[in-house]
Amino acid sequence: MNSTMRANCSGHCDMDDLTTLLEDIRACRHCEKYLPLGPRPIIRAQTSARILLIGQAPGTKVHASGIPWNDASGDRLRLWMGLDRETFYDESRVAIMPMGFCYPGKGQSGDLPPRPECAPLWHDRVMAHLPNLELILLVGSYAIHYYLKSGKKQTLTDSVRNWRDAPSPYLPLPHPSPRNIAWFKRNPWMDNELIPYMKGRVGALLGP
Q: Is the dihedral of CA 52, 129, 101, 111 positive or negative?
A: negative
3-state secondary structure the chain: CCHHHHHHHCCCCCHHHHHHHHHHHHCCCCCHHHCCCCCCCCCECCCCCCEEEECCCCCHHHHHHCCCCCCHHHHHHHHHHCCCHHHHCCCCCEEECCCCCCCCCEECCEECCCCCCHHHHHHHHHHCCCCCCCEEEEECHHHHHHHCCCCCCCCHHHHHHCHHHCCCCEEEECCCCHHHHHHHHHCCHHHHHHHHHHHHHHHHHHCC
The arrangement of strands across the sheet holding 135-139 comes to 94-96, 51-54, 135-139, 170-173
Distance CA 184, CA 35 (A): 31
Question: Would you write out the chain's pLDDT as a tens digit for each of its 208 residues?
Answer: 444 444 445 444 555 599 999 999 999 999 999 999 999 999 999 999 999 999 999 999 999 999 999 999 999 999 999 999 999 999 999 999 999 999 999 988 789 999 999 999 999 999 999 999 999 999 999 999 999 985 566 789 999 999 999 999 999 999 999 999 999 999 999 999 999 999 999 999 998 6
State pTM to two decimals.
Answer: 0.90
The model's pLDDT over 82-102, given as tens digits with 9 standing for 90+, comes to 999 999 999 999 999 999 999
